[in-house]
Amino acid sequence: MSILAEAFALVFQPYVLLVILAAAAFGMFVGAIPGLTATMATALLVPVTFFMDPVPAIAAIVTATAMAIFAGDIPGTLLRMPGTPASAAYVEDAYKMTRSGRAEEALGASLVFSAIGGIFGTIVLVTAAPVLAEVALKFSSFEYFWLVVLGLSCAVFVSPGSVPRGMIALIIGLFAATIGIDNPAGQPRYTFDNVELLAGVQFIPAMIGLFAVSEVLRFVASGAENPAVEKGGRTGVFRKQWTNLKRYPVQTLRGSVTGTAIGALPGAGADIAAWISYAISKKFSKQPQKYGTGHVEGLVEAGASNNGAVSGAWIPALVFGIPGDSITAIVIGVLYIKGLNPGPTIFINQPQLIYAVFIVFFLANIIMLPMGWIAIKAARTILSIPARVLMPIILMFCIVGSFAINNSPFGIILMLVFGVIGFLMEENDVPIAPAILGLVLGPMLEQNFVTSMIKADGSFLAFFERPIAAGLGLFTIAVWCIPLVMLLLRRGRGGGEGKPAVDASDRIGD
Amino acid sequence: MKFNDLLLGLLVLLGGIAIYVSALGFTDIPGQDYGAGTMPRAVAVFAALLGLFMIVKALVAGIRIPSLDLADWLGSRRSVLSVLVALVLVVFYIVAAPSIGFVPASLVVMAVLMMTLKTKPLTAVAVSVLACVVIQQAFGRLLLVPLPRSEFLGFLW
């Protein structure tokens, strides 16, 4: 009980609460602007959290992320331009609701069911994480090796675009992770006699480059103007939501469960959770023909799902130190910088910190309701800020943020290099998330792989000798086989049964 | 700037070979068969296999010539110029900020980029000054980041 009291004392301080409120406003703002993602919100926030104690730092990231994922629905609903990829799944329905004058109802549904999904995911996180941590204490390098490989594989296989392109991203991330002196033999690798590179590729400038600078460059290249905002009517944000909840209880629960489960899978996050939940919702709906025409049902399920995933993604991050998505990948980087090594021992050494994180999750999802209401009401003003003014300011934030990590201009150079790489990757439909996961998990993969190989005396069979390692290994191999199975299924159907089969093969084999 | 699948496969394959060759010089942990070269070599093999797969797949699909597809924005002189300006401005900041200080350097970066993106000069300068002071106060004063100082603007710190 004293641990819980200590956790409450850590969170309920005026400073921490103020940080939460400010982060909520920041997350709302970034999420609401089309093209700026929740990951970018986190990336821009990290240099600031760098100067905070662990609890306010994590509180800021948790709150900003939850807000940004919801706020991504605002431009999706009003402009048909999803603010974050997680909102893209149901953008058609939300926008059509706006066209028929029900914008506030659509956004209210996103808001309320996001909060429900987020709270559900948090409850699962609170109950599952300590139990899993007990199990994780028994893990050896073999189990960790497979967990990392599983996380990286999921990141590749669920990323948007084709699997080979996801693999290219992973290779870029893993290669960047090999740079520096921090390796089993302690030999400088690919440092070109640069002292700053000895410590490896600094994670935060790389990430700011990949997520934020690349976005600025893309905007500059496209020169797009702000589109006109649909009117959308005033139907009340919360008025219809109780009816929606009573009408779709199964959908709400199913979305929350699916989202949390997908989030908890290492390597898969909110984006894919929303797509899968929308598809599930349509499949089991009594009115599947209404999907895509301004029907709120899919919005309810997928909205609950993507915020459930945000909480769920923290389970592998805290328990194993393996990120569930690119946002938790950033968080893990922050935790390491703060000297907190995520993994099962954090539950023993600093349980008050873990409980404080749990409390922050609840707070973030509750504060989302009033903040979301304000954001919905202020949406038109936020969306009218011209991007041509905003993007240069964001670029400046990127520069200062990259500098602030080591107080060295080298961070800015790194940011620029990764910004250009990220820009080229997006131009070629190479997803960014696997690269970030590769960069974060690369050292862990290397350490556990080399340790395991030495322990096993070079025998690969040893990777399957311990029961949990064998289970994880087989599961990972099963994930690798998915494209093959899909290909065989398509061949089995003769490949001529219409568009869906062709789409599937394009995604896998392209 | 879009690489076609054949060119992308070739690049990945060549990248893999380059990493493998460069990793041959890394040393092992004394008394072990593994060391600094293990991971780069594994990444290299993965890259080479992926490259080969992509090449074969592209050839089977009938693509014979590696090519680079120029994106729409590369056709527009204005877009190319804007991207170049953005990149040059970041380099300008890296080079100039230590000598002229954060405030003038960041003002130039923001105002010039805004004007390149067709913002009215007066708006661009006004917003840049405001943003510059906010960033300087937030990072320089509140978070104590040692942003490069300008002698004549010492009062801001």
Q: A65-74, A164-173, A363-372: lowest mean pLDDT where?
A: A65-74
Task: Please give the C-alpha separations between residue B68 and each of A432, B3, B13, B63, B71, in angstroms, as whole numbers.
Answer: 21, 5, 17, 13, 9
Q: Do B79 and A222 touch (CB under 8 A)?
A: yes
**What mean pLDDT do residues A493-509 have?**
40
Give the structural domain span for A342. 2-465
Alpha-carbon A123 to chain mean position? 19
Q: Do A400 and B135 touch (CB under 8 A)?
A: yes
Where does the pLDDT of residue A494 fall: very low under 50, low under 70, confident under 90, or very high at 90 and above?
A: low
Q: A224-228, A286-290, A464-468: lowest mean pLDDT where?
A: A224-228
Query: With 60 as the cut, is the pLDDT of residue A503 above it?
Result: no
H or E element: which one contains A8?
helix A2-11
pLDDT tens, residue by residue, A74-130: 888 887 777 666 777 788 888 888 888 888 888 898 889 989 999 999 999 988 888
Distance, in Å, from the CA atom of B53 to the CA atom of A484, rounded to the nearest integer, reads 14
pLDDT for A497 equals 41
Rg (alpha carbons) of chain B, rounded to whole number: 24
Residues of chain A in contact with residue B19, where contact means CB-CB under 8 angstroms, are 175
Percent of chain A with pLDDT over 70: 93
Q: Do A450 and B113 touch (CB under 8 A)?
A: no
Q: Give yes or no: residues B126 and B85 share one domain.
A: yes
Name residues 11-40 of chain B within 8 A of A (Cβ): 12, 15-16, 19, 22-23, 26-29, 32-36, 38-40
Expressed in angstroms, the distance from the first to the final Cα of chain B is 43
Give the structural domain span for B58. 2-69
CA-based nearest distance A449→chain B, Å: 8
pLDDT for B27 equals 87
Q: List alpha helices for A338-460, DSSP H.
A: 345-349, 351-383, 387-406, 409-427, 433-456
Distance, in Å, from the CA atom of A276 to the CA atom of A419, rounded to the nearest integer, reads 30
Q: Do A400 and B50 touch (CB under 8 A)?
A: no
Q: Give yes or no: residues B57 and B77 share one domain.
A: no
Q: Give yes or no: residues A356 and A482 share one domain.
A: no
Distance, in Å, from the CA atom of A277 to the CA atom of A256, rounded to the nearest integer, reads 9
Q: Give yes or no: residues A510 and A405 share one domain.
A: no
Q: Give yes or no: residues A329 and A446 share one domain.
A: yes
Q: Give yes or no: residues A437 and A473 share one domain.
A: no
Q: Which of A214-228, A473-487, B108-122, B137-151 has the highest mean pLDDT?
A: B108-122
H or E element: which one contains A459?
none
Distance, in Å, from the CA atom of A35 to the CA atom of B1, rounded to the nearest integer, reads 20
- Count of alpha carbons within 13 angstroms of residue A475, beta-carbon side: 17
Residues of chain B in contact with residue A415, where contact means CB-CB under 8 angstroms, are 90
Domains: count for chain B? 2
Q: Are the beta carbons of B71 and B83 closer than 8 angstroms?
A: no
Query: With 50 as the cut, is the pLDDT of residue A498 above it?
Result: no
> What integer best gives the mean pLDDT of chain A?
84
Cα torsion B137, B115, A42, A436: sign = negative
pLDDT tens, residue by residue, A174-194: 999 999 998 888 889 999 888
Q: Give yes or no: residues A392 and A490 share one domain.
A: no
Which chain A residue lies closest to B82 (C-alpha atoms)?
A220
Q: Give yes or no: residues B151 and B84 share one domain.
A: yes
pLDDT, greater one: A226 or A374: A374
Q: Do B114 and A389 touch (CB under 8 A)?
A: yes
Q: Do A388 and B34 touch (CB under 8 A)?
A: no
Q: Give yes or no: residues A500 and A389 share one domain.
A: no
Q: Which of A223-227, A293-297, A349-353, A396-400 has the highest mean pLDDT?
A: A396-400
Query: With 90 as the cut, is the pLDDT of residue B45 above it?
Result: yes
Q: Give yes or no: residues A379 and A509 share one domain.
A: no
Q: Give yes or no: residues B65 and B127 share one domain.
A: no
Task: Please give the C-alpha separations between residue A78 and each of A237, B24, B154, in angstroms, as whole numbers.
Answer: 14, 56, 45
Q: Are the beta carbons of A97 and A296 closer than 8 angstroms?
A: yes
Cα torsion A507, B3, B8, B10: sign = positive
Name residues whose C-beta falls within 8 Å of residue A25's C-beta, 6 or more positions apart in sequence: A371
Q: Are the beta carbons of B69 and B2 closer than 8 angstroms?
A: yes
Using alpha carbons, select from A281, A293, A301, A310 the residue that is nearest to residue A124. A310
Tokens 């990127």 belong to residue: A398
pLDDT for A227 equals 65
Q: Which of A399, A402, A423, A439 is best to mutate for the B interface (most B CBs within 10 A)? A: A399
Using alpha carbons, select from B129, B75, B34 the residue that is nearest to residue A184. B34
What's the CA dihedral at A508, B3, B4, B9 to 10 degrees? -70
Distance, in Å, from the CA atom of A399 to the CA atom of A208, rounded to the nearest integer, reads 9
B100 part of contact set with chain A, CB < 8 Å: no
Q: Give yes or no: residues B61 and B97 share one domain.
A: no
pLDDT for A35 equals 67
Q: Are the beta carbons of A281 and A314 closer than 8 angstroms?
A: no
